[in-house]
Amino acid sequence: MDEGLPIAYEVLDKGVPVYASGGEQVGTVDHVVSAEREDIFHGVVIRTASQKRFVPADQVASIHERGVDLTIDAASAAALEQPHGGAPAWRANEPGTTPSRWREMLDRLRLRDPHRRNWSEED
């Protein structure tokens, strides 16, 4: 089967077939999970006949125009966890505080992203 040329995860389309290590189709791409700004590929959510499953990046062998190959067999793919939750919420300032306009202006002059200063994970 011709899966086409290798591609980056950023251009992987929804609906592309996903194949287990034995060549069996185990689902189709629902969406890619990544941290776009940091260029980090976390994995792929696939749609199977009955539900969605999350395939971690370390179990994705290759990504092509017309196919995604996994390093795991069909039984292991069926046992993958369902996707859950979302990305953690992040905040740049303590709740209830007003950001400093001077700090933002200085960050912009220094070509820094003013929204990335002292970020912490929100509980």
In the chain, which segments carry CATH 2.30.30.240?
Answer: 9-78
State the number of CA atoms in the 13 A half-sphere of 3 facing the CB: 15
For the question of whether the overall pTM of this predicted structure is more than 0.85, the answer is no
Question: Is the pLDDT reported for residue 57 higher than 90?
Answer: yes
Q: What is d(CA 104, CA 117) in angstroms, rounded to the nearest whole number? A: 9
pLDDT value, residue 62: 97
Average pLDDT over residues 1-13: 92
Which residue in the block uniquely carries the two structure tokens 């971690």?
Answer: 56
Q: Which residue has the higher pLDDT, 99 or 3?
A: 3
Q: What is d(CA 94, CA 66) in angstroms, rounded to the nearest whole number? A: 46
Q: Which CATH superfamily is domain 9-78 in?
A: PRC-barrel domain (2.30.30.240)
Q: DSSP character for 36?
A: T
Least confident of 23-27, 47-51, 79-83, 109-113: 109-113
Average pLDDT over residues 62-70: 97
Residues 6+ apart with CB under 8 A from 83: 33, 45, 52, 53, 54
